[in-house]
Amino acid sequence: MKLIIDTANVKEIKRLCEILNVWGVTTNPTIIARENKPFEKVIAEIDEVLDKKQTLFVQVVSTDYESMVEEGRYIASLRKNIVVKVPVTADGLKAIKTLHKEGIKILATAINNATQGFVAALNGAEYLAPYVNRMSNYTDGVEETIILQEMLDEHDLDTEIIAASLKNTGQVKELIRNGIESVTLPVDIADLMYLNPATDEAIDAFTNNWYKVYNKKTLR
Ligand code: G3P
């Protein structure tokens, strides 16, 4: 099981890497643009807070085949442990084939149904990012992701699903209990994986009860 963080905010990446077992960081053009800094600076800053084993995912911006391939090669040159994100369109699928042949690791992204994911897997994508919550506008996004996993299993494709576009921990729980290997979580959902007001209440009571007897809020 891989827990991935869907943000380019270095402070949040650093904070969450200290709290959780973060396998990697996913970005997309919207997420990077949100930082409002030059692209290379954002990537360099993320690289600095990640260790070498943590994988970074960076997406192409262009939408035509030639430029996607060119940007994919450039992204792949930025870091050793990096995966190029390519949206599943006709040009994107062509680019996935080409980049895969060159040994570049690909995450096929913006997947909005199981068949899109399946054809991207056949083209050599290492990872697939179904947009679970966005799919939920017109179908059951969790169920569609599970169907995609079943299709991969049935045909012995070892392409890995990284479920994306997650908006609540209920979606995350359903995916994990159904065997989906990886999820990429926005910062607020990553925090909601462990925060619970009832836990804070319990701790307050422990501290207060201890204080009443020992007149201090520490063990020693
Ligand atoms: O990487 C971004 C992807 O997870 C889509 O998320 O929140 O834009 O639907 P969202």
Residue 219 lies in a domain: no
Token look-up 């870091």 returns: 79
Residue 138 lies in a domain: yes
**CA 165/CA 132 separation, integer angstroms:** 5
Q: Quick check: is 85 catalytic? A: yes
Residue 173's pLDDT band, with cuts at 50, 70 and 90, is very high
Residue 64 lies in a domain: yes
Which atom of ligand 1 lies nearest, measured to the CA of 27? 1
Residue 42 lies in a domain: yes
Its domain, for residue 112, covers 2-214
Q: What distance in angstroms lies between residue 123's CA and the mean position of ligand 1's atoms?
A: 23
Tell me, using a 6 A CB cutoff, whether residue 57 lines ligand 1: no
pLDDT in tens, 113-168: 999 999 999 999 999 999 999 999 889 999 999 999 999 999 999 999 999 999 99
Burial class (CB in 10 A: 0-12, 13-18, 19+), 185: buried
Any idea how long the chain is? 220
DSSP H helices, the chain, are 10-19, 29-33, 39-49, 65-76, 90-101, 114-122, 132-135, 141-154, 169-177, 187-192, 197-214
Domain count within the chain:
1
Which atom of ligand 1 lies nearest, measured to the CA of 6? 1
Instruction: List the residue whose alpha carbon is closest to atom 4 of ligand 1.
Output: 165
**CA 214/CA 89 separation, integer angstroms:** 66
Residue 73 lies in a domain: yes
> Average per-residue pLDDT in the chain?
98
Tell me, using a 6 A CB cutoff, whether residue 113 lines ligand 1: no
For residue 86, the domain's CATH number is 3.20.20.70
Residue 28 lies in a domain: yes
Question: Which structure tokens are listed for 38?
Answer: 């030059």
Asked if 166 and 185 touch (Cβ cutoff 8 Å), the reply is: yes
Residue 220 lies in a domain: no
pLDDT in tens, 54-97: 999 999 999 999 999 999 999 999 999 999 999 999 999 999 99
Distances (CA, A) of 35 to 17, 18, 40, 42, 164: 19, 21, 12, 8, 20
Residue 165 lies in a domain: yes
